Structure 1
Amino acid sequence: MTDAPKIKALLFDVFGTVVDWRSGVARDVKAFLSRHALSIDALEFADAWRREYVPAMEEIRSGRRPFVRLDVLHRENLVKVLSSHGITSVPPEEVDELNLTWHQLDPWPDSVEGLARLKRRFMIAPLSNGNIRLMLDMAKRAGLPWDAILGAEVVRAYKPSPSAYTDTVDILGLDRAEVCMVAAHNGDLAAARGCGLKTAFIVRPTEHGPAQTSDLRAEQAWDFLATDLNDLATQLGCAN
């Protein structure tokens, strides 16, 4: 295991690691579908919306499209999913409102307490693909005690592009080995490790629902492996 005293900052993936995006999106989608008398499963709709996430960001990572914030991509993806279900006559302001569901996601039960414990010893900030306003709204609603809001919009790069990690560390004025990336996704951690960051894997076995097949276990020997953020705080010597 890594020597924890050398770590000065923890950077966090947010969607799936700190918050339960699937349940939150489905909650607001269900209300939307009910208002429009649409017999579509809200969880399936949430999953379809999320499936557009990586392809949309890849357009930017590949250089085929200039950087735009995630709110823009989420709205474009929402219109695609609505259209795929034959829903084309929703007023734009209602589409905008539904798009804000990503700003209103609930934390996992351990997240607020775990982050508060970690904050006592380390600098903590999101390194998320979510944009600044999204992260701020989510933090205000959920009580996430970040020291700063960092991530894709700040460095104009989406994970897992190397600059998303290295430029964020540069903003903190730290060496890469002094920063630990915390995520429930092996791919995110592999990219961070490739840039010289320390890594902590948090197991979130129901991020994608009860039939989840991905990221159920650590795929590399990450520096830390924890069942949740409280477990990580304990491993890193943070008091209750």
Structure 2
Amino acid sequence: MDIKVVSFDVFGTVVDWFGSIEREARALNLPVPADEFTLAWRAGYKPAMARVVSGEAPWALIDDIHFSILEEILERFGIDDLDESQKRHLNLAWHRLDPWPDSSPALHRLKRRFTTCTLSNGNLSLLEDLATHGDLPWSRILSAETFGTFKPDPRMYRGVAETFQVSPEQVLMVATHQDDLEAARAAGLRTAYVKRPLEYGPEGPAKRFSEDHDFLFEDLLDMAARFGC
């Protein structure tokens, strides 16, 4: 395949949001299990994105959406002893997510052959902080903020091809989420599923995926090796 650009989902695919957020929640000694708190925070993510894409809710940065979800779950769990600065610091935990161990070395290798970019619902400052924190050497950072909408809006996927002036079939979308890849394929992109069995933690639900993609990888180092990088 004549792939020129490799675009990556970030949350879950490149970085370990569950382990990172759980660690920060545990450090605060919240009166609720850290894993339960983490999963509840993440559970508000897709519904919030869907409301924006449908036009039900106005455009907002993911940082602001994360904070709104945080306030909701703090109230739900009866946690009222965090002051504003503590809540803001906790919200920025999404800027401090650790990469999966294979992510940085694999991305360094892949960048030698391909143009690499993020294609994430995260805002630009968040993605830039993750790149610095995790030594993630993107050729370019693209986000929902770049295009003014959230995945799975097809404008996100087609926007990658337009940005780099290539055809959609010359863009490979890499993700660990079946719905993300299905939307990318519908927009004309090639797709690669990366297995991340621990995305929702060791006790998390089994993840749904199919082999109906151009590629199926065990992790990003497997991807780099199979592409000869």
1:30 aligns with 2:30: no
Match of 1:126 among 107, 114, 118: 118
Deviation at 1:23, TM superposition (A): 0.6
Aligned-pair CA distance for 1:174: 1.2
Question: Which of these residues, 227, 236, 239, is aligned with residue 227 of structure 2?
Answer: 236
8 Å Cα contact 2:191-2:213 kept in structure 1 = yes
Structure 1 partner of 2:108: 116
Q: CA deviation at 1:161?
A: 1.1
Q: Is the 8 A contact 1:151 1:168 kept in 2?
A: no
Candidates 203, 207, 225, aligned match of 2:216:
225
- The reply on whether 1:149 has 2:141 as its aligned counterpart is yes
CA distance in 2, matches of 1:178, 1:20: 28
**Normalising to structure 1: TM-score of the pair?**
0.92
Distance 2:183 2:128 in 1: 25
Question: What residue number does 1:96 align with?
Answer: 88
Secondary structure at the aligned position of 2:71 is classed as helix
- The structure 2 residue matched to 1:185, chosen from 177, 191, 201, is 177
Aligned residue among 8, 14, 18 for 1:18: 14
Q: CA deviation at 1:225?
A: 0.6
Q: Give the % identical residues.
A: 44
Per the alignment, do residues 182 and 140 of structure 1 end up closer, same or farther by CA in structure 2, a change over 3 Å counting? same
Contact 2:160–2:171 (CA under 8 A) maintained in structure 1: no
Letter matched to residue 131 of structure 2: A
Structure 2: gaps of 5 or more residues: none
Which whole-Å CA distance do the structure 1 matches of 2:211 and 2:55 have between them?
A: 30
**How many Å separate the matches in 2 of 1:187 and 1:196?**
14
**2: CA distance between counterparts of 1:39 and 1:213?**
24
The alpha-carbon deviation at position 74 of structure 1 amounts to: 0.2
Name the stretch that deviates more: 87-96 or 218-227: 87-96
- In structure 1, stretches of 5+ residues that fail to align are none
1:207 aligns with 2:199: yes
Q: Which SS does the other structure have where 2:110 is aligned?
A: helix
Aligned to 1:149, what secondary structure does the other structure show?
strand
Q: Deviations over 1:37-92 (max 9, x none)?
A: x4311111000000000111111011012211100000000000100011235221
Deviation string for 1:78-129 (max 9, x for gaps)? 0001000112352212111100000001111100011111000001111011
With the length of structure 2 as denominator, give the TM-score of the two structures.
0.96
